[in-house]
Chains A and B, each alone.
Chain A
């Protein structure tokens, strides 16, 4: 089904079914909270409707949604409210210096820029060039972030991280 050719309720259902999990999971890598991630996803979908963006194809549509999700997530984590609060689970994990067997947990501990690149590269399957386009960065920057992210994972994960 080609979503961008649909109208009205059909389109809303299409984008919700197709992109909800992707957006929430991406936002989660920033917020580390499902509730906040869902709030961001809602904002993203509302923005999609308000802007009435016309997309060339589904890839364009997906890339736009990812970009908006990243921007909204960044703004969320930079907001004064979030800066002044520390999620309970994060506060707890920070006390542990032991190696983890939960790869997501370790990814979430990484700096924001590495998290995003790791997620888009390994979970969404984007190439470095595609990630660079989506995030508006140079391929060199994305490559560096990905490399550093992998290195961190190898150091922190029990049994290392095999990049395959």
Chain B
């Protein structure tokens, strides 16, 4: 027998008839899930950013108070309003109340008492030669409850329809023809390390030596996420401050089982000389490495802090 016999023998392994259909469906589901997750994340970020900006704007308004009334638009409007009142009053109207009720066809804007107070305030208009008087720009002329400047400013800065856009994105039905390469998250090569909490992969030493022979290191998988693919273990001895590869000491690596299991690395230290050692677990896909170190003194394994 030779390798051609092996190839022929393996070629006899045929896939189930529905394998392609089932797998394609699962892959599409995964792609859609990925796409929807990304869109939801974008929407969340947009909403948070807009909310934060709105909060900042309101905070700024609360802090600066009446200073916001000095905006050009408001000042101009107010100037016009006062100027109109002044013109009307000068044209012979007895009170502002008369002007308002006449102009608004009997729909007074304020209770009588308040209108009369306003009329008193406007008994002596400061209108000079057709030019707006300087007091117009003074905050004292714009009681807070009658001026809508803060809201106007906030709406200008942070249009409400931004939230509408993101909401639409979230509820938009997924396109079945997903562009896998273009719509999914950045490649794993580009996944920032920050997305994986460092503590997540930190090794936890649970047992130190069995009859002085093994070093047992557990990597706790806290999230239950599958961590199987694409990692490597490396075992080094530190010599003159530099790690020197020593693969021979590995006797068993129990790989991580999916969904919350631990992984255990057993290292036969019985033939290791005294010195410092490092075990590195590397995740090439995410460019992340966790490591644990220990030293052997007189044949006894000692972990840092123990």
Q: A13-37 vs B: 1/0 string, CB under 8 Å?
A: 1001100110011001000001100
Contacts of B10 in A (CB 8 A): 25, 104, 119, 123
Whether, in the assembled complex, B145 has its beta carbon less than 8 Å from a beta carbon of chain A, the answer is: no
* A161 to B2 CA separation, bound complex (whole angstroms): 5
Q: Are A78 and B1 in contact (CB under 8 A)?
A: no
* A162 to B230 CA separation, bound complex (whole angstroms): 34
Q: How far is the CB of A121 from chain B (nearest CB, A)?
A: 8
* A5 to B34 CA separation, bound complex (whole angstroms): 19
Whether, in the assembled complex, B3 has its beta carbon less than 8 Å from a beta carbon of chain A, the answer is: yes
Contacts of A122 in B (CB 8 A): 3, 6-7
Whether, in the assembled complex, B15 has its beta carbon less than 8 Å from a beta carbon of chain A, the answer is: yes
- Closest residue of A by beta carbon distance from B29: A46
Q: A79-112 vs B: 1/0 string, CB under 8 Å?
A: 1100000000000000000000111100100000
Q: How far is the CB of B150 from chain A (nearest CB, A)?
A: 45
Whether, in the assembled complex, B102 has its beta carbon less than 8 Å from a beta carbon of chain A, the answer is: no
With A49-B30, A50-B30 in contact, do A9 and B23 touch (Cβ < 8 Å)? no
- Closest residue of A by beta carbon distance from B185: A52
Contacts of B230 in A (CB 8 A): 64, 67-68, 71
* A50 to B255 CA separation, bound complex (whole angstroms): 21
Contacts of A114 in B (CB 8 A): none
Interface residues of A in 105-131 (CB under 8 A from B): 107, 118-119, 122-123
Contacts of B23 in A (CB 8 A): 16, 20, 41-42, 45
Whether, in the assembled complex, B302 has its beta carbon less than 8 Å from a beta carbon of chain A, the answer is: no
Q: Are A52 and B181 in contact (CB under 8 A)?
A: yes
Chain A interface mostly: helix
Q: Are A6 and B181 in contact (CB under 8 A)?
A: yes
Whether, in the assembled complex, B22 has its beta carbon less than 8 Å from a beta carbon of chain A, the answer is: yes
* A24 to B15 CA separation, bound complex (whole angstroms): 8
Q: Are B13 and A51 in contact (CB under 8 A)?
A: no
Contacts of B34 in A (CB 8 A): 49-50, 52
Q: Are A160 and B180 in contact (CB under 8 A)?
A: no
* A104 to B5 CA separation, bound complex (whole angstroms): 9
Binds A, one of B88-96, B186-194, B210-218: B186-194
* A60 to B19 CA separation, bound complex (whole angstroms): 24
Whether, in the assembled complex, A57 has its beta carbon less than 8 Å from a beta carbon of chain B, the answer is: no
* A65 to B15 CA separation, bound complex (whole angstroms): 17
With A42-B23, A42-B26, A45-B27 in contact, do A71 and B180 touch (Cβ < 8 Å)? no
Q: Footprint of B on A, CB under 8 Å?
A: 6-9, 11-13, 16-17, 20-21, 24-25, 28, 34-35, 38, 41-42, 45-54, 64, 67-68, 71-72, 74-75, 78-80, 101-104, 107, 118-119, 122-123, 136, 138, 141, 153, 157-164
- Complex A-B: 14 CB contacts under 8 Å: A9-B28, A16-B20, A24-B19, A34-B16, A41-B19, A45-B27, A49-B27, A67-B230, A78-B255, A103-B9, A104-B10, A123-B10, A159-B1, A161-B2
Q: Footprint of A on B, CB under 8 Å?
A: 1-3, 5-7, 9-10, 12-13, 15-16, 19-20, 22-24, 26-28, 30-31, 34, 177-182, 184-189, 228-230, 232, 247, 254-258, 285
Q: A50-B34, A71-B230 are in contact. List 11 more A-B contacts (CB 8 A).
A: A8-B181, A34-B16, A49-B30, A49-B34, A51-B187, A52-B184, A53-B188, A75-B228, A79-B257, A102-B9, A141-B247
